[in-house]
Amino acid sequence: MVDLFRRLAWLLSLLPLIAATPTAAERPLILATTTSVDNSGLLKHLLPKVTADTGLTVHVVVRGTGAALRLGTSGDADVVFVHDRLAEDAFVAAGHGSFRRDVMSSNFLIIGPHDDPAKIADLPDPAAGLRRIAQTKTLFVSRGDGSGTHNAELRLWTAAGLDPRVASGTWYRETGSGMGATLNIASALDAYLLTESGTWANFGNRGALTVLNDNALLNPYGIMLVNPQRHPHVPENDARKFIDWLTSPVAQQAIDEFTINDQHPFRSAAGAETTAK
């Protein structure tokens, strides 16, 4: 039996080897951002330049806008880079973020099957398009997850004077999932949905889906520093360095130059900064 315990002791001695996590002396910056920024490939385009110019290492956690802001609120992210202006302003106003700065914008798009059963392609007004989808009770999938895109979609329904949630489960389906999962569902169901140019440009599984309205809404992105006074572990200098870089002329040019499949999904828009008062 001593034999067995010797074996166990041997296994125990191995444990630190496999369980040990390398801890850097300098903590890398944790950036919480949205699927549209990451899935589009924009970060892969920008992050090597960040490291080259500033020496910063950035770890990216991808969530919907709502969940990304939650990571900032709990102090689990240092910088939050999302797209829901109202939620961002509320985040800063509540003191979770020190300030918010404009970075860039993309476009919301209404996507649907190319045979367009609700006939919305000839309607320049996106709200009118949504009204016709509701009238014809054609399948529409919604993120339903409190993300920036979901909130933009709900604002568009409000502009159309409709509450689609009364039809939830019938022609209006809330997936409660990320943009990619929702696009996959729309592709499988030949349904309409609201998406955003960054994710769409890089999305592979389109099936019969195509852009029917690219005039839906402007989609502004903002970046926020998580309040170091509330969360002292936030590496404020590094975080400020990163935000300054992303809003610098060099980065803004890189954002404008970024192309996926011959499309430019993002436009630089650095400028205005808001702080909590």
Task: Give the chain's largest Cα–Cα span.
Answer: 82
Quick one: 20 or 166, whose CB is closer to other proteins?
20
Give the nearest distance from C-beta 61 to other proteins in angstroms. Answer: 4
CA dihedral over 43, 45, 48, 51, signed as positive or negative: negative
Give the nearest distance from C-beta 157 to other proteins in angstroms. Answer: 24
Residue 268 carries which DSSP code?
E
Give the nearest distance from C-beta 18 to other proteins in angstroms. Answer: 5
Quick one: 73 or 247, whose CB is closer to other proteins?
73
Quick one: 55 or 271, whose CB is closer to other proteins?
55
- HSE-CB for 29 with a 13 A CA cutoff: 26
Residue with tokens 């914008």: 105
> Which stretches of the chain bind other proteins, using CB under 8 A?
1, 3-5, 8, 11-12, 14-15, 18-19, 21, 27, 30, 35, 39, 59-62, 73-76, 178-181, 183-184, 187, 202-206, 231, 233
Q: 266 with 258: CB under 8 angstroms? A: yes
Which one-letter amino acid corresponds to residue 275? T
Give the nearest distance from C-beta 93 to other proteins in angstroms. Answer: 19
Q: Which of 197, 123, 130 lies closest to 161, judged by CA?
A: 130
Q: 264 with 138: CB under 8 angstroms? A: no
Give the nearest distance from C-beta 47 to other proteins in angstroms. Answer: 9
Quick one: 66 or 75, whose CB is closer to other proteins?
75
Quick one: 17 or 166, whose CB is closer to other proteins?
17
**Gyration radius from the chain CA atoms:** 22
